[in-house]
């Protein structure tokens, strides 16, 4: 072969190799073997089964692929097939590996798990129509099986029970009372519980929430709350505004105007009286009719030049001014009326200010609300209700306090919330955020903050706060977002 042709062939081989090397990075790193097998014509099926197929266990017989899909057909010529695992047929198809399913009820942080199903137990609380505080709790089981549940009702601070339904146990710890029932509710049935409290001061409203928990008393099924208020002894009279002529500012203005008119009339009357009986203006008497006036007078001797002579003007009448006592009296009356009207108007405006309203907090969105346990409090996106707060009684370096919280989405779209924004304030101003690991464990491994709350939905769940020492939270701060004003719940 001539040398020039050998050089051309060598150059062509080098160019082809460079083209292949440049095209290799553009290929997908992991291409399914089935796609490669479809692109490469399969050889004719062998009449005898492959030896490797004979070694395939019975449980993997379906993984060997269709006839003709041998290992040699999966890749281009010269490619080396990966060694097959012992006892598994060497095939060109990629066998997908299904990850092991997590334990029942457990979920990772990124996976919120399946949506929480509707609880089989629902709770409804209504205040009793009695002169003394009382409540009626309705526990309903909508499941097709019997459910064992623990019902707890928080008592208002400073109150005590006088009557409890059969089976109820009233306890008190750290000044907070609680009534506990352990019920067995048959399928598709309901139970009614009653609680009566001691009489309180007139006009005092008492709020007592109740929750139904699982049989171990840790995870809540549902919660509800109610506020008892004493009926007024007599119907409140409807307050009607006074007519204009009976309002103090109008009366003061009318009195001032009357004094001014009276002073002006008196001064005008005195002036007119002086004019009627006063002195005529002094001057030269007029000459007789037809008698000329001389320079020296009407009878001046020696005659003289005749010219008209104007009468000399008399002294002008002195201008009368109102007396000093009248001016001072009128000014004092007007000043007193103005001061009285200003004081009365300011007093009425101050009395009309509603001290229960919470002001907006600068850049926060919405208004902040503060209330007690069992009171629904609404902020920008959520309505929070804290039904119960309980802490461990063991004397350890740190303790866990669990708050049973109801969250309702009051917006027309789903909303998310975050565990780091939910805080428990301790004495001295220190605070801790939600212990997300402990909260996930209390919710059976479900991450309650990873899944949004649907529009109009309500969930009841436990939140766990880990605090140092034996301190108990004095206040909980709950909010839906970073810029939300949030709500604050006072813990007794």
pLDDT tens, 80-114?
444 444 433 333 434 444 444 443 333 333 344 45
Contact 373, 490 (CB under 8 A): yes
- Split at pLDDT 50, 70, 90, the class of 115 is low
Dist. CA 201–CA 39, nearest whole Å = 89
Dist. CA 53–CA 66, nearest whole Å = 12
Inform me whether the pLDDT recorded for 117 exceeds 80: no
- Split at pLDDT 50, 70, 90, the class of 265 is confident
**Looking at residue 94, what is its pLDDT?**
40
| Total domains present in the chain | 2
Range of the domain at 472: 369-490
- Split at pLDDT 50, 70, 90, the class of 24 is low
**Looking at residue 337, what is its pLDDT?**
78
Q: What average pLDDT does the segment 384-389 reach?
A: 95
Inform me whether the pLDDT recorded for 145 exceeds 90: yes
Q: Is residue 348 part of a domain?
A: no
- Average pLDDT of the chain, as a whole number: 73
User: Residue 207 maps to which CATH number?
Assistant: 2.60.40.1530
**Looking at residue 311, what is its pLDDT?**
59
Contact 89, 56 (CB under 8 A): yes
Residue with more model confidence, 38 or 454: 454
Residue with more model confidence, 411 or 364: 411
Last residue of a domain, one of 185, 211, 228: 228
Q: What is the pLDDT of residues 30-65, one digit of tens each?
A: 444 444 444 444 444 333 433 333 333 343 333 334
Dist. CA 12–CA 6, nearest whole Å = 10
**Looking at residue 100, what is its pLDDT?**
41
In b/e form, how buried is each residue of 207-236, taking b as 16+ CB within 10 angstroms? bbbbbbbbeeeebbbbbbbbbbebeeeeee
**Looking at residue 353, what is its pLDDT?**
61
CA-based nearest residue to 407, from 423, 385, 422: 385
Q: Is residue 140 part of a domain?
A: yes
Last residue of a domain, one of 163, 194, 228: 228
Q: What is the pLDDT of residues 232-255, one digit of tens each?
A: 655 555 667 767 667 777 777 777
User: Which string of DSSP letters, residue by residue, matches 98-158?
Assistant: PPPPPPTT---SS---SPPPPPSEEEEEEE--SSS-EEEEEEEE-SSS-EEEEEEEEPPTT
Q: How many other C-beta atoms are found inside a 10 Å radius of the C-beta of residue 155? A: 24
Two tokens at 428? 């001295």
Inform me whether the pLDDT recorded for 12 exceeds 50: yes
Q: Is residue 34 part of a domain?
A: no
Last residue of a domain, one of 228, 261, 294: 228
Inform me whether the pLDDT recorded for 418 exceeds 80: yes
**Looking at residue 327, what is its pLDDT?**
75
- Could you give the C-alpha distances from 63 to 54, 90, 440, in angstroms and in order? 13, 10, 39
Q: Is residue 218 part of a domain?
A: yes
Dist. CA 71–CA 93, nearest whole Å = 9
Q: Is residue 252 part of a domain?
A: no
Q: Is residue 452 part of a domain?
A: yes
**Looking at residue 363, what is its pLDDT?**
56
Inform me whether the pLDDT recorded for 76 exceeds 50: no
Q: Give the torsion sign (CA, 426, 431, 432, 433).
A: positive
- Split at pLDDT 50, 70, 90, the class of 318 is low
- Could you give the C-alpha distances from 288 to 283, 298, 299, 304, 382, in angstroms and in order? 15, 9, 12, 19, 109
- Split at pLDDT 50, 70, 90, the class of 256 is confident
Q: Is residue 183 part of a domain?
A: yes
Inform me whether the pLDDT recorded for 355 exceeds 70: no
Q: Is residue 469 part of a domain?
A: yes
């Amino acid at each position: 072969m001539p040398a020039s042709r050998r050089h051309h062939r060598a150059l062509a081989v080098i160019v082809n190799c460079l083209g292949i090397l440049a095209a290799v990075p553009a290929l997908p790193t992991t291409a399914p073997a089935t796609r490669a097998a479809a692109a490469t014509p399969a050889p004719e099926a062998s009449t005898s089964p492959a030896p490797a197929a004979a070694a395939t266990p019975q449980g993997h017989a379906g993984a060997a692929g269709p006839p003709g899909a041998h290992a040699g057909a999966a890749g281009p010529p010269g490619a080396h097939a990966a060694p097959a695992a012992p006892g598994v047929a060497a095939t060109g198809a990629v066998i997908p590996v299904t990850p092991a399913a997590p334990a029942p009820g457990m979920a990772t942080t990124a996976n919120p798990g399946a949506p929480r199903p509707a609880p089989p137990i629902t709770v409804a609380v209504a205040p009793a129509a009695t002169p003394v505080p009382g409540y009626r709790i309705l526990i309903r089981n909508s499941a097709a099986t019997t459910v064992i549940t623990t019902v707890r009702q928080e008592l208002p601070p400073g109150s005590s029970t006088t009557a409890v339904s059969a089976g109820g146990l009233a306890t008190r710890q750290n000044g907070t009372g609680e009534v506990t029932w352990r019920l067995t509710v048959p399928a598709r049935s309901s139970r009614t519980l009653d609680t009566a409290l001691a009489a309180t001061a007139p006009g005092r409203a008492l709020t007592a929430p109740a929750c139904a928990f699982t049989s171990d008393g840790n995870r809540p099924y549902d919660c509800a709350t109610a506020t008892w208020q004493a009926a007024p002894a007599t119907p409140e009279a409807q307050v009607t505004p006074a007519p204009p002529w009976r309002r103090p500012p109008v009366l003061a203005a009318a009195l001032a105007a009357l004094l001014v008119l009276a002073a002006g009339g008196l001064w005008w009357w005195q002036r007119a009286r002086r004019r009627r009986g006063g002195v005529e203006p002094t001057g030269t008497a007029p000459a007789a009719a037809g008698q000329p006036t001389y320079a020296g007078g009407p009878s001046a001797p020696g005659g003289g030049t005749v010219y008209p002579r104007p009468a000399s003007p008399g002294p002008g009448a002195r201008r009368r001014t109102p007396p000093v006592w009248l001016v001072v009296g009128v000014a004092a009356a007007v000043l007193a009326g103005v001061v009285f009207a200003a004081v009365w108007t300011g007093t009425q405006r101050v009395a009309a200010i509603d001290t229960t309203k919470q002001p907006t907090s600068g850049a926060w969105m919405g208004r902040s609300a503060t209330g007690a346990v069992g009171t629904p409090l609404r902020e920008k996106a959520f309505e929070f209700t804290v039904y119960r707060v309980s802490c461990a009684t063991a004397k350890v370096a740190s303790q866990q306090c669990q708050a049973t919280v109801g969250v309702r989405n009051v917006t027309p779209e789903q909303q998310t919330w975050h565990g780091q924004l939910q805080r428990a304030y301790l004495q001295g101003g220190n605070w801790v955020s939600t212990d997300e690991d402990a909260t996930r464990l209390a919710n059976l491994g479900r991450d309650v903050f990873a899944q949004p709350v649907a529009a109009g939905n309500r969930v009841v769940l436990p939140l766990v706060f880990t605090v140092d020492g034996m301190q108990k939270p004095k206040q909980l701060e709950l909010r839906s977002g970073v810029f939300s004003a949030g709500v604050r719940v006072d813990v007794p």
